[in-house]
């Protein structure tokens, strides 16, 4: 209400004042309840957090141990792989060196083999082989028998009616069936061997007791194998009637090769003599 001076006076209403008085104790109780609820929530949150932290710590501890073990294994494997790579590298170096030595050794062995084969053929240069002569035909003294038999069957003149022979014998080993073993003869003079080969080349073969007998040069096993590889080609040439022409060409070519090599060196190579 307004006063006479124009001011205002507070007017207290009974019911509102009573409501305020009644609400004060209720507000205090609600604040106490809220405080209790907050404390309980904090406690519960703390307990849950501690439980979760404990579980996580246990799990992480196990996981960490596993990771440590894996890390150790990886480190060990890395060391082993490094050692293996080093050993492989060393082995590769050794293998390379060994391969180089092996190549040199193979080259040396091939050269020595060719030299040995050359020396063997040189030692056989005075030898001849007689094929197809029946066993026992030469008797008990083959050297004396062939010394007079060869110039007779080949119709060759000699100073004393015979060749000089160092030794004569059948090839070693037992006889195979009815096939007679070859006869090996070593003459003292290379010129006599050349005369025999020239005579048999003109005749092709001898006929003794109804059997064909062949006389050949005595070569090493390596040279005989190389000559044997041309058998099929020779058969074709014989069938076509070209063998004599090829032989003449080969003889002329060999003479040219020997002449050219003699002009360069006094020693003939293995290729020139036996290949």
Strand arrangement of the beta sheet that strand 127-131 belongs to: 165-170, 183-187, 127-131, 211-217, 206-208
3-class DSSP state for residue 50? helix
Kind and range of the H or E run holding 167: strand 165-170
Q: Which residues, other chains included, contact 32 with Cβ-Cβ below 8 Å and sequence gap of 6+?
A: none
Q: Which residues, other chains included, contact 135 with Cβ-Cβ below 8 Å and sequence gap of 6+?
A: 170, 175, 180, 181
Q: Considering the chain, what is the average pLDDT of its residues?
A: 80
pLDDT of residue 258: 43
Instruction: Please write the tens of the pLDDT for every residue from 224-234.
Output: 998 889 888 87
Q: Residue 18 — very low, low, confident or very high, per pLDDT cuts 50/70/90?
A: very low
pLDDT of residue 32: 58
3-class DSSP state for residue 265? coil
pTM > 0.85: yes or no: no
CA 172 to chain centre: 38
pLDDT of residue 232: 87
pLDDT of residue 106: 96
């Amino acid at each position: 209400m307004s006063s006479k001076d124009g001011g205002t006076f507070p007017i207290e209403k009974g019911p509102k004042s009573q409501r305020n008085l009644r609400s004060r104790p209720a507000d205090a109780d609600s604040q106490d309840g809220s405080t209790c609820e907050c404390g309980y929530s904090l406690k519960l949150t703390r307990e849950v957090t501690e439980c979760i932290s404990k579980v996580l710590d246990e799990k992480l501890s196990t996981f960490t141990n596993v990771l440590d073990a894996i890390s150790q294994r990886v480190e060990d494997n890395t060391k082993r792989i490094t050692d293996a790579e080093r050993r492989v590298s060393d082995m590769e170096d050794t293998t390379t060196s060994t391969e180089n030595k092996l190549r040199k050794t193979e080259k040396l062995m091939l050269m020595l083999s060719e030299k040995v084969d050359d020396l063997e053929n040189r030692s056989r240069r005075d030898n001849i082989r007689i094929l197809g002569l029946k066993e026992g035909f030469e008797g008990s003294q083959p050297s004396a028998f062939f010394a007079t038999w060869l110039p007779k069957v080949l119709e060759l003149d000699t100073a004393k009616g015979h060749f000089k022979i160092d030794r004569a014998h059948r090839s070693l080993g037992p006889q195979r069936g009815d096939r007679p073993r070859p006869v090996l003869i070593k003459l003292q003079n290379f010129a006599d061997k050349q005369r025999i080969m020239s005579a048999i080349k003109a005749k092709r073969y001898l006929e003794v007791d109804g059997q064909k007998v062949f006389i050949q040069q005595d070569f090493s096993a390596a040279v005989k194998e190389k000559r044997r590889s041309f058998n099929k080609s020779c058969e074709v040439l014989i069938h076509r009637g070209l063998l004599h022409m090829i032989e003449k060409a080969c003889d002329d070519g060999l003479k040219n090769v020997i002449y050219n090599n003699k002009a360069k060196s006094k020693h003939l190579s293995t290729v020139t003599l036996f290949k």
